Amino acid sequence: MSKVLVKWGTCWSDEIEIEGFCIIDEEKLKIHKQEIAKYTEPFTISIGTNQEEFYENGQKLLEEISEEPLTDLEAEIIERKVGRTYGQVRCFDFPFRKYGVW
């Protein structure tokens, strides 16, 4: 199965850059993107310590996610050197919290 390097980056409250990546199977990424696109109303993603990033809808989140195909060798080297995930990858933590609902 083909691997993809997925990068997520956002700027929380115009103060802190939140970034991370994960290596994921191409088919699993496709499913995640379809799930994100289903969000048509505002939601938030927790970034820790009671802080959240606000999104108007799933499309806005998808605009912050980039992807790059990897060869098996590239995926193996990245995983061996830094791991399968690094930094913040909360963009795949489902379900997202509906905005204003605690």
Q: Give tens-digit pLDDT for 6-40.
A: 998 877 766 777 788 989 999 988 988 898 898 89
Average pLDDT, the chain: 83
φ/ψ of 101, rounded to 5, equals: -105, 120
Confidence of residue 84 (pLDDT cuts 50, 70, 90): confident
* CB 36 within 8 Å of CB 58: yes
Higher-pLDDT residue of 100 and 92 is 92
CA distances from 34 to 15, 39, 55, 63, 80 (A): 30, 9, 16, 13, 29
What is the model's pLDDT at position 102?
A: 42
Mean pLDDT over 56-62 rounds to: 92
| Residue 38, helix vs strand vs coil | coil
Asked if 1 and 20 touch (Cβ cutoff 8 Å), the reply is no
Q: Are 19 and 5 in contact (CB under 8 A)?
A: no
The four Cα atoms 29, 31, 36, 40 give a dihedral, to 10 degrees, of 150
Q: What are phi and psi of 35, to 5 degrees?
A: -65, -45
Its pTM stands at 0.78
